[in-house]
């Protein structure tokens, strides 16, 4: 006859009480087979005792299971989440990578990647339209691009619409109602384009919508700007970047117009007068694509957002409210397969306090 200890069957630590309970149950089972030769009254009593013993055993097992489930749920597992995209030297997105192809460094110390996903995720996207005077001649391109971008949306995706020139205006909150999104975009195209380009103020207002809104896990968050990137500077770029890190959001830009001639000149020679989004995009791991073909590039950018890699590692111990750096690289073996490829990912986060359930996404 095969017998197993309670702790072996249910993977609980060996305890004196489990040994005793197993012994009692085993003895009762043996009595059950030996009792057929005994008088009927004694046989009935032994079977009654056996049923009681098994009921007690099952109740104790249920209690153990609940205790194990509770301890698992409250386990102290805090994770840092990083979205990553692999690009070729020409800026083309590379695919087909696995968990073992990546290395993650936190404050220059390599971390163990505890979880990895290459699956597409639903999107929360804020479309940020530049309606300044310099964009007036490109209204038709913006209109076609916006409608093409909607074709890339899938069930469950949510979109908000914001416009900006000198000021920023919210046209619609995050919604998965495609008809409402279409109406919001149409209302943007009906606006009068004019005024200055406070683009850095606008991207800060956009991420504030994420920070103060509902937090929904397992969604990719992004602010997507359509602009000529010729704006006035905001002297709080570091604070803006940290807001994107705290919101687990990516900033991306579709740049049209004279980005190469004017914006690059200011960025390199007169950085104090440059008010573009290049640095913020870089530090959040986003895409910055100069193109006049907005109708093609906006759907492509939506697709790129959806298909990024998700990497997770354990949150290191440290002093709360201190900024830490993140660096994501390909392993030497992966680099051999794709010479010159680089990984785009956010470059830092602010170490916060752990949530009550012990799980955080930073």
Cα four-point dihedral sign 42, 44, 48, 51: positive
- What residues contact residue 241 under an 8 Å CB cut-off, 6+ apart? 279, 280, 283, 284, 348
* Highest mean pLDDT of the ranges 11-20, 207-216, 273-282, 307-316: 307-316
Residues 174-201 have a mean pLDDT of: 90
**pLDDT at residue 42 tops 90:** no
**pLDDT at residue 127 tops 70:** yes
Tokens of 136: 């007036």
**What is the per-residue pLDDT across 192-242, written as a single tens digit (0 to 9) for each?**
889 888 999 999 999 999 988 666 667 899 999 999 888 777 778 899 999
pLDDT confidence bin for 25, thresholds 50/70/90:
very low
**What is the per-residue pLDDT across 96-111, written as a single tens digit (0 to 9) for each?**
999 999 999 999 999 9
pLDDT given for residue 17 in this prediction = 41
Residue 126 near residue 160 (C-beta atoms within 8 A): yes
Residues 277-294 have a mean pLDDT of: 91
**pLDDT at residue 63 tops 70:** no
pLDDT confidence bin for 61, thresholds 50/70/90:
low
pLDDT given for residue 56 in this prediction = 55
pLDDT given for residue 52 in this prediction = 59
Weakest mean pLDDT among 34-48, 113-127, 347-361: 34-48
Residues 167-190 have a mean pLDDT of: 91
pLDDT given for residue 345 in this prediction = 97
pLDDT given for residue 116 in this prediction = 96
Per-residue HEC secondary structure of the chain comes to: CCCCCHHHHHCCCCCHHHHHHHHHHHHHHHHHHHHHHCCHHHHHHHHHHHHHHHHHHHHHHHHHHHHHHHHHHCCCCCEEEEEEEEECCCCCEECCCCHHHEEEEECCEEECEEEEECCCCCEEEEEEEECCHHHHHHHHHHHHHHHHHHHCCCCCCEEEEEEECCCEEEEEEEECCHHHHHHHHHHHHCCCCCCCCCHHHHHHHHHHHHHCCCCCCCCEEEEEEEECCCCCCCCCHHHHHHHHHHCCEEEEEEECCCHHHHHHHHHHHCHHHCCCCHHHHHHHCCCEEECCCHHHHHHHHHHHHHCCEEEEEECCCCCCCEEEEEEEEECHHHHHHCCCCEEEECCEEEECCCCCCCCCEC
pLDDT given for residue 136 in this prediction = 82
Weakest mean pLDDT among 131-145, 189-203, 251-265: 251-265
**pLDDT at residue 268 tops 80:** no
Weakest mean pLDDT among 95-104, 266-275, 326-335: 266-275
**pLDDT at residue 169 tops 90:** yes
pLDDT given for residue 83 in this prediction = 95
Residues 75-88 have a mean pLDDT of: 85
**pLDDT at residue 112 tops 80:** yes
Single out the residue of 129, 185, 186, 120 nearest to residue 155, CA to CA: 120
pLDDT confidence bin for 331, thresholds 50/70/90:
very high
Single out the residue of 225, 253, 252, 222 nearest to residue 158, CA to CA: 222
| Burial degree of 279 (CB within 10 A; 0-12, 13-18, 19+) | middle
What's the half-sphere exposure (Cβ side, CA atoms, 13 Å) at 342? 11
When the pLDDT of each residue in the chain is averaged and rounded to a whole number, the result is 77
Residue 166 near residue 134 (C-beta atoms within 8 A): no
- What residues contact residue 39 under an 8 Å CB cut-off, 6+ apart? none
End-to-end CA distance of the chain: 54
What is the reported pTM? 0.73
pLDDT given for residue 38 in this prediction = 46
* Highest mean pLDDT of the ranges 3-7, 276-280, 324-328: 324-328
């Amino acid at each position: 006859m095969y017998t197993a200890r309670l702790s072996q069957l249910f993977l609980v630590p060996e305890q004196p009480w489990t040994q005793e309970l197993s012994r009692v149950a085993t003895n009762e089972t043996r009595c059950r087979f030996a009792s057929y030769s005994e008088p009927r009254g004694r046989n009935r009593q032994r079977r009654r005792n056996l049923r009681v013993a098994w009921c007690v055993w099952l109740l104790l097992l249920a209690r153990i299971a609940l205790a194990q489930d509770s301890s698992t749920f409250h386990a102290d597992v805090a994770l840092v989440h990083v979205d990553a995209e692999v690009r070729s030297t020409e800026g083309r997105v590379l695919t087909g990578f696995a968990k073992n192809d990546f290395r993650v460094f936190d404050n220059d110390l390599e971390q163990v990647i505890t979880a990895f996903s290459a699956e597409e995720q639903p999107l929360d996207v804020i479309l940020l339209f530049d309606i300044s005077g310099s964009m007036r001649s490109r209204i038709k391109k913006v209109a076609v691009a916006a409608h093409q971008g909607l074709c890339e949306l899938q069930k469950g995706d949510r979109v908000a619409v914001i416009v900006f020139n000198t000021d920023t205006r919210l046209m619609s909150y995050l919604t998965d109602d495609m008809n409402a999104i279409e109406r919001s975009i149409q209302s943007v195209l009906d606006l009068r384009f004019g005024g200055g380009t406070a683009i850095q103020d606008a991207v800060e207002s956009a991420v504030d919508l994420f920070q103060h809104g509902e937090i929904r896990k397992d969604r990719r968050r992004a602010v997507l700007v359509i602009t000529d990137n010729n704006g006035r500077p905001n002297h709080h770029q570091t604070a803006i970047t940290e807001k994107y890190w705290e919101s687990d959001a990516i900033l991306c830009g579709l740049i049209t117009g004279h980005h190469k001639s004017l914006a690059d000149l200011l960025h390199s020679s007169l950085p104090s007068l440059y008010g573009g989004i290049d640095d913020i995009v870089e530090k959040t791991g986003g895409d910055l694509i100069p193109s006049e073909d907005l109708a093609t590039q906006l759907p492509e950018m939506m697709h790129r957002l959806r298909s990024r890699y998700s990497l997770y590692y354990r949150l290191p111990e440290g002093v709360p409210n201190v900024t830490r750096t993140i660096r994501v690289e390909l392993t030497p073996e992966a680099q051999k397969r794709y010479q010159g490829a680089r990984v785009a990912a956010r470059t830092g986060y602010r170490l916060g306090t752990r949530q009550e359930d012990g799980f955080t996404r930073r």
